[in-house]
Structures are given as C-alpha cells and as structure tokens.
Structure 1
C-alpha cells in the first residue's frame, strides 16, 4: 500500500515527503475533528455494564 502511494505521488522525493506530511496531518485533523467525537457519542466509555 505504501509503495503504491509513493508511486502515485508526483515530483521528486522532497515533494513526496512534503505531500505525505500534509496528507497525514489532514487525516489526523479529520479524525480528531469529526470521527472521534462521533464515535464517542456511539461508544460511551462512562456506561459501564460490569458490576462488582
């Protein structure tokens, strides 16, 4: 998968590294902004079902 992504990206090595850094930053930003808050609403860690 990483080799295929590396071949798809245009430009010399330093441009590819810069593009990968921007893509990784965008993915992490999207996860923290939309995915994790949505998932927290579905999987509530406060609702414990194990009793002592």
Structure 2
C-alpha cells in the first residue's frame, strides 16, 4: 500500500518526500482532533473504581 501511494505522488524525490510528510501529518491531525475525541467516551478508562 505504501508503495502504491509513493508511486502515485507526482514530482521528483524531494517533492515526494514533502508530500508524504504532509500526508502523514494530515492523518495524525485527523486522528488527534477528530477520531480520538469521538471515541474517547466509549473507552472504559474513565470508569475507575477503587475499594478502600
């Protein structure tokens, strides 16, 4: 899959590196600002019970 993305990116090697970096940063930003906040209430980490 990564090879397919690399072959589809236009331009020379330096341009492909910059484009790949932008793609990675876009995916990370999408995960951090959209996906993780949306799924966080569904995770059981906030339901901590302690006995004392």
TMscore range, shorter length: 0.7 to 0.9
Pairs aligned (count): 50
- What does residue range 30-45 of structure 1 map to in structure 2 within 5 Å? 30-45=30-45
Q: Larger helix proportion, structure 1 or 2?
A: 2
Stretches of 4+ aligned residues off by more than 4 angstroms: none
Structure 1 unaligned spans of 5+: none
Give the distance between the partners of 1:37 and 1:5, measured in 2 at CA.
Answer: 28
TM-score by length of 2: 0.82
RMSD: 1.6
TM-score by length of 1: 0.82
Q: Which has the higher contact order (CA 8 A, sep 6+)?
A: 2
- How far 1:43 sits from its partner (Å)? 1.1
Structure 2 unaligned spans of 5+: none
